Amino acid sequence: AGAAAAAPGAAAVVGALCFVCSALVAPGHVAHQDYGAVTAGALHGPFAAADELASDLRGAGFEATATPDLVSARWRKLLWNVPFNGLATLLDADTDELLADPAGRALVVALMEEVVAGGRACGAVLGPDDVDRMVALTEAMVPYRPSMALDAAAGRPLEHDAIHGAPVRAAAAAGTVMPRVEQLWLALDLVDRRLRRTTTGAPPATSP
């Protein structure tokens, strides 16, 4: 988002985030497993542009909403991506396994709470209710193996710097540390370097 905000024409940029369970199973073949909501928000331009995009998506049959607060929406997405992508990759676990085990659930919630703190430092409107809601949404979804875990299993490079490193850096710049998320990022960095030594060159999967 930082690079996009500084680019010429940024006022015309509309961001969109998906909450969807899907997997790249073959070139050009994505399996849709659960959920599918799209949230659109203008980067700097008028809210009307995001609202128009959401309306077009609804007209095409998608579940779509527009938000005037793209910053909060992006951090809210990280509430899911940070714990579940990272822990599933390191622990070789599906979402249901992570939440069914007391230790796994505690790790998930602790990471989410750090994301809330980091997001709030960066101007996002987040709180404990967002953590509870994200846990409930995950408990209701089909048992799901996040995209980063699928990338690791297939020998593809990870998206850990965008999902874990970027929020750690953003929070640090705003005066807040995220020690658990940072440790998760470093552990994933080790895995990523190992994968890159033997990568197949296949493209990364799309994060949920």
> What distance, in Å, lies between the first and last C-alpha atoms of the chain?
18
Q: Which H or E run contains 108?
A: helix 102-121
Whether 205 has a pLDDT exceeding 70, the answer reads no
pTM as predicted: 0.85
- Residue 20 burial (CB < 10 Å; 0-12/13-18/19+)? middle
| 78 and 119 Cβ atoms separated by less than 8 Å | yes
| 114 and 181 Cβ atoms separated by less than 8 Å | yes
**1-68: what CATH class?**
alpha beta
| 178 and 117 Cβ atoms separated by less than 8 Å | yes
pLDDT band per the 50, 70, 90 thresholds, residue 176: very high
Domain boundary assignment for the chain: 1-68, 69-200
**Can you tell me the mean pLDDT for 156-177?**
97
| Beta bridge mates, 194 | none
Q: State residue 207's pLDDT score.
A: 46
**Can you tell me the mean pLDDT for 154-167?**
95
pLDDT band per the 50, 70, 90 thresholds, residue 2: low
* Domain 69-200 homologous superfamily, CATH: N-(1-d-carboxylethyl)-l-norvaline Dehydrogenase; domain 2 (1.10.1040.10)
What residues are labeled active site?
77
Distance, CA of 24 to CA of 150 (rounded, Å): 9
**Worst-scoring range by mean pLDDT, 4-8, 18-22, 164-168?**
4-8
**Worst-scoring range by mean pLDDT, 14-18, 56-60, 85-89, 157-161?**
14-18
Whether 32 has a pLDDT exceeding 90, the answer reads no
